[in-house]
Amino acid sequence: MMSHREDRFAQVTPFKIAVSDAQLEDLARRLRDARWPNATLGADWDDGTEPGFLRRLTDYWRTQFDWRAQEARLNELPQFIAEVGGTDIHFVHRRGAGPDAFPLILTHGWPGSFAEMEQIIPLLTDPGAHGADPADAFDLVVPSLPGYGFSARPSRPGVGPHHVAGLWAELMAGLGYHRFGAQGGDWGASVSTWLAFRFPDQVAGLHLNFIPGSFLPPLGEGQPPLSPEELVFRARAAAWADAEGAYAHIQGTKPQTLAFALADSPVGLASWIAEKFRAWSDCGGDVERAFTLDQLLTDISIYWFTNTIGSSMRLYKESRRRPVHFAAGERVLPPLGLALFPQELPMPPRSWVERVFDVTRWTPMPRGGHFAAMEAPVLLAQEIRAFFRPLRRP
């Protein structure tokens, strides 16, 4: 296996998160002095973030949330910075327990971060310590997308999921992995799809817990007509975009305008992100059924301290320029496994996916939503292990 080869970058630098005291003091001041809008009487989640919840969340952020504790815990993960394609990429690289760990690159999305994967990392790298088969161990690489968290912001246009897939291929080769698996949800699904499409000789298998929203197979003349199931899916996806997709439209068209507000106001940033964690998770309307306040604020704080909300939203505009569309005759060659969580955003039927992918595993999951690695890490880890088990050796 390629698991224990030497890193081949000119320089891989160990990394530790180190937010300054001045940043903490600035955040506390901004939270204390926040100016609140005049909320509509009786406003609830139908209007966006519910004011009572946001006040409680930000009060907790200011008076009880311990960033230093979260920082110390995250710093227990082996983190690094490497220059990849001219961009400094932050990543976690944890070797699997045992001699035959299989390389896997695991990619987060928006409004998440590498911290989404914190709970699933030990389940995949050391399954034997968690009641699973030690032979299913992975060498895990968990990068931060460019412009997210502790990765550098792109210095030029064009850094969308298609481009990031090339960076990931270079990252894995630089770490000595020339045959590996890819997994992701949200933007991680788009990047991983392009990675498998562009580099089929390197990607042994592709596992997703989301089909990219921009995914479009070849349609029209010479292609099978849309099935009743596919027509229902397209109508459901359009209805969801109309009711819930305003965020994606503004982030995909005018991200800079929104960035000025969210980069300046931690309350605004918390509102923008927390609303998505509630809307997209299997929480029954109560976000704290799926996530603790500490989990929410760790993710939000990473965006705040790194000032990356603007650069993170840029990915939406770049993706619109090169969406996950396929022409007649194009296929993603590595096998695909899909975990379907019940509270995920609209997901297509299998026939829609099979127009482009070689689907070898299709598993409806018992619970969970869009943030599967946080909401149901044990279930997702079981699926990932099962999918890659027959693909570990050429």
Active site residues: 186, 316, 370
Element (H, E) at 269: helix 266-279
Smallest CA-to-CA distance from 74 within 149, 156, 171 is with 149
Label residue 226 exposed, middle or buried (CB < 10 Å: 0-12, 13-18, 19+).
middle
- HEC profile of 325-383: ECCCCCCEEEEEEEEECCECCCCCCHHHHCCCEEEEEEEECCCCECCHHHHCHHHHHHH
The answer to whether residues 77 and 125 touch, using CB atoms and an 8 Å cutoff, is: no
Give the start-end residues of each E strand in 166-313: 180-184, 203-208
Alpha helices in 8-66 (DSSP H): 21-32, 51-63
Neighbours of 57 (CB within 10 A): 22
| Residue 8, helix vs strand vs coil | coil
